[in-house]
Amino acid sequence: MVDFLYDIYRVNQLGEDTHTYVDTDDDVIGVFFVDEADDAPNQTSDQDVADRAAAAQVPSFASAPNLANTTVAAVSNRAVFDADDLTFTALTGDQVESFDIFKDTGTDTTSVLMLNMDTATGLPLTPSGGDVVIVWNPSGIWRL
């Protein structure tokens, strides 16, 4: 598979009112790794964290870390979303092949899936109890 923005996220950013709009500057944005052997991401049908099997979330939704210092800026005629690098402390679990970025409302049924990334350096990864750091690309996490 390749990195993708979930369809529901893209549609809602353009004003669709069937799901929660995401304000990437001000909303809480979380990240968890995905064990695709337990649940493969689906760009068109997955909408919120409840669509991701609990067994596939590493760490679980309730323990997923949040991005800090998120920004959106215009760069070379594109909107660029970025944040500080992210550390998963003492990560354990099954092998993971990708990670999901989502709006964290505190409830899995309203926490909108935004992005699935599987081309990041170091994936797939088998967590062994140590810290895992996602170092974002210097040009941002994603651009529109």
Give the residue-averaged pLDDT of 126-137: 96
Mean pLDDT for the stretch of residues 128-141? 95
Read off the pLDDT of each residue in 76-83 and give the average, rounded to a whole number: 90
pLDDT at 71 over 90: yes
| Confidence band for 14, pLDDT divided at 50, 70 and 90 | confident
- Residues of the chain above pLDDT 90, percent: 78
pTM over 0.75: yes
- Are 62 and 30 spatial neighbours (Cβ–Cβ below 8 Å)? no
The per-residue pLDDT for 118 is 96
Q: Which parts of 1-144 fold into alpha helices (H)?
A: 7-13
| DSSP calls for 65-82 | -B-SS-EEEEETTEEEEE
Question: What is the band of 19 on the pLDDT scale with cuts at 50, 70, 90?
Answer: low
3-class SS of residue 79: strand
pLDDT band at 1 (very low <50, low <70, confident <90, very high): low
| Cα distance between the two ends of the chain | 20
Question: Tokens standing for 120?
Answer: 């990041």
Cis peptide before 41 (omega within 30 of 0): no
d(CA 113, CA 103): 7
| Integer Cα distance of 106 and 110 in angstroms | 8
In the predicted structure, residue 141 carries a pLDDT above the cut 70: yes
- Confidence class of residue 80 from pLDDT cuts 50, 70 and 90? very high
Q: Can you give the pLDDT at residue 84?
A: 97
- Let me know how long the chain is: 144
Token code pair at residue 12: 């809602």
